[in-house]
Amino acid sequence: NGAVDLHGNPAIKSKSGNWSACWLIFGKLFCERVAFYAISSNLLKYLTSELHEDIAQSAKNVMNWAGTTFLTPLLGAFVADAFLGRYWTLTAFCCSYVLAMVCVTLAVSVPSLKPPNCLSTPSGRVCPKASGLQVGFFYFALYLMAFGAGGIKSNVSAFAGDQFDENDPVESKRKLSFLNWWFVSISFGTMLSVSILVYVQDNVGWAWGYGAATSVTCIATTLFLLGSAKYRHQLPAGSPLTRIAQVLVAATRKWKLQVPDLELLYELEDPEGPHSPRHRKLPHSSGFVFLDKAAISKEEIALYKSRGREPNPWRLCPVTQVEEVKLLIRTLPIWMTNLMFSAVFAQVGTMFLSQGRTLDRRMGPHFMIPAASFPLFITLTICILLPLYDTYFVPFVRKLTGEERGLTSLQRIGIGQVISTIAIASAALVEMRRLRVARQHGLLDEPHTPLPMTIFWLLPQYMLIGTCEVFISVGMLEFFYNQAPDSMRSVGAALYLSTVAVGSFISSLLLSVVVKVTSRGSGGSWIGNNLNRAHLHRFYLLLTCLSTANFFLFLTCARWYQYK
């Protein structure tokens, strides 16, 4: 299948690839999940308790960092496809990730890199502000970690898939279970972080919790590099982003021209030829006529043939390439109407965590569950429901709809959006009860005193988020993968990841606007350091209303959309 070894020679099938190589790559994926969730799950607590930021500012910082972490895969995919290939991109970005984890561990361990602890005085708690150096070093480490994650998230699963030859019947069967193990690696990495490492951070120390994640990352990176001789490599084939840019540039250059009849538009005679990417020839469609101008050949074909050269792709693109860009553009309304779900999901590591820290977290007389461990219930819900979905739900619904997968991708996404709206509405109801308990027990001005209300009141909203993940996240991944052109599947995967990034930025912006506007009113800010005096439920209700409006907009876009 064109695979080569580390030195560019044809790979020897018996000595490379397969599961022996794949396990090392999955180990790297597992440890990246461990490190990411070891940081992200409890980051808001560290920012508020150690760097002494207020809750609203900390939440915005967490959302912005998470958004950046899921946006950098676009860069990682471009570098791998256009220049370095997956292995060398992974290697370079893994080293960056390790360096970032070392810096994060130093930031929470070295006394001079963090401010002094808060002091209790007769007038209240006094928390010294962090210096510019302390804040700057910590956020430098965080964003270096986000940069490193870009090369890992965008390439690790594809590189693992490269270890199997789809043309080999035996290896092709083995690859069928590849995605299952990919998901298992992610799930177990997440569960380890939000259970054991978060507990260590809360009860032993930040240095031990972050240090353990750093150690695991260093070991995984070392093992990944030691296995270099075992890997099969695919040479870079050029970035799909370049193909998109070529169509846009070529069409813009000819913006004054009228689109001629279809037979006069340029198309490759042999779409599977040596000068064409491996993809199916796409028929011309009537929409987005402006892009068709990229395929207006005029006298260019004769000129290029007379010189014995291929057409300049920045001046002339075949119809198939134009249609690929059209396919991507048609998915954008679906992409935009899924950003609201990511904005809701951004509350898991911020506002949900802030709620949990005010509640009674005891489990028996000797154990207290960390609030940051509650995302574990999201992962458990997914692990339980996904097999049930495939085993029972799909066959049952298939009988009703006649659809092979039970539901179409857009139907699955729509159901997920409904559940997401119910989840954030549930969070609003629980928050209203939490405020009532604080008022009844005279704890409105005691934000650091746990309320006599168990943290398991938050369980429904976490489990509902896990349930909607089964529908909406898998549905989006399926939709963008299947609807993307054959030669731009990596762009489809990047579109899916970018919904998380942009949704996090939207949530951060929305939070900033809400805090700024509500702080001016006489009723007090909706989000403040003392959640017992704040109105977090109103913020949740705002998200509920926006999610509802977004769902009806999604229905409109889904009805307009035509599957490939």
Q: Which residue has the tokens 């000068």?
A: 275
Numbers of helices and strands, H then E, in the chain? 24, 2
Task: Answer yes or no: do 328 and 310 share one domain.
Answer: no
357 close to 45: Cβ distance less than 8 angstroms: yes
Q: How far is CA 294 from CA 30, 280, 308, 313, in A?
A: 44, 19, 21, 9
Task: Answer yes or no: do 352 and 412 share one domain.
Answer: yes
Determine the distance from the C-alpha atom of residue 154 to the mean position of all C-alpha atoms in its chain, rounded to a whole number.
10
Residues 6+ apart with CB under 8 A from 40: 62, 65, 66, 349
Would you state the pLDDT for residue 259?
86
d(CA 290, CA 258): 9
Task: Answer yes or no: do 417 and 457 share one domain.
Answer: yes
Instruction: Characterize 530-553 residue by residue with b for buried, 16 or more Cβ atoms within 10 angstroms of its Cβ, and e for exposed.
Output: bbbebbbbbbbbebbebbbebbee
Task: Answer yes or no: do 198 and 302 share one domain.
Answer: no
Map 50-72 to HEC letters. Answer: CCCCCHHHHHHHHHHHHHHHHHC
d(CA 78, CA 488): 12
Specify which residues 120 forms β-bridges with: 125
CATH, residue 544: 1.20.1250.20
Residue 547: what residue type?
S
Would you state the pLDDT for residue 276?
43
d(CA 142, CA 39): 9
Would you state the pLDDT for residue 307?
64
Last residue of a domain, one of 317, 345, 367: 317
| 278 CB burial (10 A radius; 0-12, 13-18, 19+) | exposed
In 3D, which of 128, 130, 150, 127 has the Cα closest to residue 139? 130
Would you state the pLDDT for residue 190?
85
Task: Answer yes or no: do 112 and 254 share one domain.
Answer: no
Determine the distance from the C-alpha atom of residue 501 to the mean position of all C-alpha atoms in its chain, rounded to a whole number.
6
Task: Answer yes or no: do 217 and 285 share one domain.
Answer: no
- Distance between start and end Cα atoms, the chain: 27
Residue 103: what residue type?
C
Last residue of a domain, one of 222, 237, 252: 237
Which runs of E-coded beta strand occur in 94-168? 119-121, 124-126
d(CA 92, CA 210): 22
Task: Answer yes or no: do 257 and 394 share one domain.
Answer: no
Task: Answer yes or no: do 259 and 216 share one domain.
Answer: no
Last residue of a domain, one of 257, 289, 317: 317
Q: How far is CA 348 from CA 44, 149, 330, 427, 434, in A?
A: 11, 20, 31, 10, 17
Task: Answer yes or no: do 59 and 181 share one domain.
Answer: yes
Specify which residues 368 forms β-bridges with: 362
Would you state the pLDDT for residue 355?
94
DSSP 8-class letter at 450: P
Contacts 24+ apart (CB under 8 A), 428-431: 428/537, 428/540, 428/541, 428/544, 429/537, 430/355, 430/457, 430/458, 430/460, 430/461, 431/355, 431/536, 431/537, 431/540
Task: Answer yes or no: do 218 and 249 share one domain.
Answer: no
d(CA 213, CA 43): 14
Residue 71: what residue type?
L
Residues 6+ apart with CB under 8 A from 303: none
Task: Answer yes or no: do 224 and 245 share one domain.
Answer: no
Specify which residues 124 forms β-bridges with: 121
Q: How far is CA 11 from CA 174, 193, 250, in A?
A: 18, 37, 38
pTM of the model: 0.84
Residues 6+ apart with CB under 8 A from 498: 70, 71, 74, 335
d(CA 553, CA 393): 27
What DSSP string runs through 365-407? SS-B--GGGTTHHHHHHHHHHHHHIIIIIHHHHHHHH--TTSS
Range of the domain at 512: 323-564
d(CA 207, CA 189): 19
d(CA 54, CA 48): 6
Six token digits for residue 235: 């040479």
Six token digits for residue 143: 């964003």
- pLDDT one digit per residue (tens) for the chain, 564 residues: 578 888 788 888 778 878 888 888 888 888 888 899 999 999 999 999 899 998 889 999 999 999 999 999 888 888 888 888 889 999 999 999 999 999 999 999 999 998 888 887 777 778 888 999 999 999 999 999 999 999 888 888 778 878 887 777 777 766 656 665 666 677 788 888 888 999 999 999 999 999 999 999 999 899 999 988 889 888 887 788 888 999 999 999 998 888 888 877 888 765 544 444 445 688 888 889 999 999 988 666 666 666 667 778 898 889 989 998 999 999 999 999 999 999 999 999 899 999 999 999 998 888 889 999 999 999 899 888 888 888 888 889 988 888 877 889 999 999 999 999 999 999 999 999 999 999 999 999 888 899 999 999 999 999 999 999 889 988 888 888 788 876 676 677 778 888 999 999 999 999 999 999 998 877 778 998 899 999 999 999 999 999 999 999 999 999 989 887
d(CA 496, CA 154): 11
* 3-class state of residue 204 by DSSP: coil
In 3D, which of 355, 356, 531 has the Cα closest to residue 439? 531
Q: How many domains does the chain have?
A: 3
In 3D, which of 74, 5, 541 has the Cα closest to residue 233? 5
User: What Rg do the C-alpha atoms of the chain give, in angstroms?
Assistant: 26
Task: Answer yes or no: do 396 and 460 share one domain.
Answer: yes
